[in-house]
Chains A and B, each alone.
Chain A
Amino acid sequence: MAKKTYDLLFKLLLIGDSGVGKTCVLFRFSDDAFNTTFISTIGIDFKIKTVELQGKKIKLQIWDTAGQERFHTITTSYYRGAMGIMLVYDITNGKSFENISKWLRNIDEHANEDVERMLLGNKCDMDDKRVVPKGKGEQIAREHGIRFFETSAKANINIEKAFLTLAEDILRKPLKLHIVSHPKYLGPKDFEGRCCSETSL
């Protein structure tokens, strides 16, 4: 184990329709494993993974939200503290792609203004069942000025790349955000409180 546990802590959030694979994407990244059984996330969960970028140890605290509508009042309260948000859809599920605009609107409403966003088209290993062409994902990402990857948690395609890219993008952000990257608390309220008390710095 390294001497320093971490230099910075980035808080990331995964959102998107139910069943697109948010939990699997996270599980692949944090534990390098994949499970085919679908267990709907209850409300909100998180995992921790430390990565090294530009000589800095960065602890990623990644929040995994339930995609189901009935949890939305709980999950949206976690948007505020996020420094990066991954919006996931399923390339074999047209509805999950159509809902991207709805999720982007959610981000606009509930997240920090300068939050780093990223779009992921998951399950890209299932090309035979694909209904969303890659070009459509690229197009909508371009329209909103955000990065885009097609991923597969199952086949381990672009998962680590996506998380590292998002972390790098946050690292490049202005200093102010980096202060906030030393949170001690994982919940939205405390995070918010900290955030506000340190904005003057």
Chain B
Amino acid sequence: MEEPPLREEEEEGDEAGPEGALGKSPFQLTAEDVYDISYVMGRELMALGSDPRVTQLQFKIVRVLEMLETLVNEGNLTVEELRMERDNLRTEVEGLRREGSAAGGEVNLGPDKMVVDLTDPNRPRFTLQELRDVLQERNKLKSQLLVAQEELQCYKSGLIPPREGPGGRREKDTLVARANNARSNKEEKTIIRKLRDRGGFVHLGDKSKPPDFRTTDAGCGRSSSRR
């Protein structure tokens, strides 16, 4: 922002020739300008002739110009350094401001909120209810597997007579495939029936439902009627 006009003026000075340096702002002087000035002044001093007082003045003027040269160089160096530092700080501030706005957004969410990084493959993405459902289904299937394994064991060990096998098995297969409710109703009846038949310690009176004729009396069959 500040550099373009500066350059323009420098260019103007160049165009204006050595005398142009004298018309410049002291804060924009360069070593080159100082040499221009010394050229201009040297020329004019020479025009004054070889008066010893002029010679004496010329030494002093040279000395002053040298001092000016040093100051101008030094000043310009400092300005350059300051400019670099300013640019660095500006970049730094911008970075902090960007971080700050991100952090600011987080704070605005409130103490019980969190920010989810959508690019994180391990980000949370399922609800508690979904987890609950999956776990329930897993456990249901696991228990069905256990029942099936036990039943299989019964067949293998010949505890269920082969003639009873196919029919009974088919029935059980359908049973497993059936909806949960229908299934548990049937099983409930089976257990109730079982207890009643055994003259168990409790009298289970299930008046609302007709007796279940599916009951298998073999021990293993019974195992298939619960999950």
Contacts and interface: CB of A to CB of B under 8 A. Distances in A.
Contacts of A201: 202-205
Nearest to A189: B136
A187 B139 contact: yes
A185 B187 CA distance: 10
A191 to B, nearest CB: 11
Nearest to A45: B139
Contact of A184 (B187, B195, B202): B187
A51 interface: no
Interface in B143-173: 143, 146, 150, 153-154, 157, 159
B139 A44 contact: yes
A66 to B, nearest CB: 10
B45 to A, nearest CB: 91
Contacts of A194: 184, 188
Interface in B176-227: 180, 184, 187-188, 191, 195, 201-205, 219-220, 222-223, 225-227
A4 B222 contact: yes
B159 A186 contact: no
Contacts of A187: 136, 139-140
A91 B139 CA distance: 31
Given A43-B135, A74-B135, A190-B184, A184 B140 contact: no
Given A1-B154, A184-B184, A187-B139, A73 B223 contact: no
Contact of A1 (B140, B146, B157, B201): B157
Contact of A43 (B132, B159, B191, B226): B132
A3 B219 CA distance: 5
Contact of B142 (A46, A178, A183, A184): A46
Interface string A5-45: 11001000000000000000000000000000000001111
Does more than half of chain A's interface fall in helix, strand or loop, or is it mixed?
loop
B102 interface: no
Contacts of B131: 42-43, 74
B158 to A, nearest CB: 10
Contacts of A44: 135, 139
Nearest to A43: B135
Contact of A182 (B128, B140, B150, B226): B226
A48 to B, nearest CB: 6
A184 B135 contact: no
A5 B188 contact: no
A168 B154 CA distance: 28
Contacts of A184: 184, 187-188, 191, 225-227
B16 to A, nearest CB: 79
Contacts of B136: 187
Contacts of B205: 201
A178 B201 CA distance: 9
A4 B225 CA distance: 12
Contact of B128 (A74, A175, A178): A74
Nearest to B142: A46
A179 interface: yes
Contacts of B143: 46, 48, 186
B153 A1 contact: yes
A25 B226 CA distance: 26
Interface in A152-201: 175, 178-179, 182-187, 190, 194, 198, 201
18 contacts: A1-B154, A1-B157, A2-B219, A4-B223, A43-B131, A43-B135, A44-B135, A45-B139, A46-B139, A46-B142, A46-B143, A74-B131, A74-B135, A179-B202, A182-B191, A184-B184, A184-B225, A184-B226
Interface pairs A-B: 3 shortest CB-CB: A5-B223, A3-B219, A4-B219
Given A184-B226, A184-B227, 19 more contacts: A3-B220, A5-B150, A5-B219, A5-B223, A6-B223, A9-B226, A43-B135, A45-B139, A46-B143, A48-B143, A74-B128, A74-B135, A175-B202, A178-B202, A182-B191, A182-B195, A183-B226, A185-B184, A190-B184
